[in-house]
Every structure is written in C-alpha cells, then in structure tokens.
Amino acid sequence: MIRNISRLPRYYLLRIKRLRGDPHYLASGIGFGVFMGILPLIPVQTLLLIPLSVAFRVSTIAALIAATLISNPLTFAPQYYLTWKLGNFIMPGKISWQHLEHVLVTIENEGLLDGVTTFSHLGFNAISVILTGGVIIGIPLAIVSYFVSLHFFRTVRRKRAQRHKLD
C-alpha cells in the first residue's frame, strides 16, 4: 500500500508528460486544475471542472489530472484546514473547525452522496469562509503552476522535436 502511494507522483508526472498539444493550452489546464483542486468543493468539483475548462478553453485532461493531484483523499483534511484557517482569518467566527471536521469525516466514512448532503447543510456562512480561503490560496498557486508547467511543456516539446530530428 505505501509503495503504491509513493509511486503516485511519478505516475501522474508521466501522465502529464505524455499530454500532447500547445504548451500554453496544457499549462492553462494545469493552472485551472490546481485552482479548482484547491477550492473546497469536493462533492461537485469534477462536475464543475469539466464544463468550466471547456468554457475557458483550457485542457480538460490536464485540469482533471492537476485537480486530482491537489484534491485527493490524502490531502482533504490539510486542504480543508488551510482554507478554513485562512478564510476564518479573513471572515472570523463564521464556522468552527469541529463543524467542518464533521463534514470531512462524513465524506470519508459514509461516501460521497452523504458528504454532499452534509456539505450542503453547512450553510452560506460556512461555505463562504472555506471558499474565501480556497480562492486566496488557489489564485497564487494556479499562477505559479501555470508558469512552471508552461516551462515544463515547452521543454518536453523541445526534447520531442530534437528526438524526431535525430530519427
């Protein structure tokens, strides 16, 4: 099990490396996926990510891979905690960590459908706190990931072109 978890980053890096297309298009997908992955919308994240990536004309596949890397069962608790902490700093007193932790436990133990139900019962104040924190964290991370992945995709494209010249 631990061996499989330690192999996941390499697996996703290979999946990203194998993506084909314009570097800007792919990097935009990565940046958008990172932003959407940071937003604490786990129950509806993919449902929003696919149509929005098409609407914004970014790589849907790259966005899905990036969002999965950012938002997965290993990162739920720390991600929610950080977005809550920052959102609660900006908008204090709107939600307690114990209340939010209950939602995470429900999603983890009882499944996605019950998690969606519990998430929807949080109320506007609670959701606005964690979304505020998510947006504040997500925007800089999305920008950084765009530029890092743009450099990455340009390097991969250049190496592919050199390899084709040698063949």
Per-residue pLDDT of the chain (167 residues; tens, 9 = 90+): 556 777 877 888 889 999 999 999 999 999 999 999 998 876 678 889 999 999 999 999 999 999 988 988 788 788 888 998 999 899 887 777 777 777 777 767 766 666 667 666 677 777 888 889 999 999 999 999 999 999 999 999 999 989 888 76
Yes or no: say if 49 and 63 are a contact pair by the CB < 8 Å rule: yes
Q: CA-CA distance, 62 to 69, in Å (whole number)?
A: 11
Range of the domain at 104: 2-166
How far is it, in rounded angstroms, from Cα 137 to Cα 141? 7
CA atoms within 13 A on the CB side of 166: 6
Number of domains in the chain: 1
* Contacting residues for 127 by C-beta, under 8 A, at least 6 apart: 119
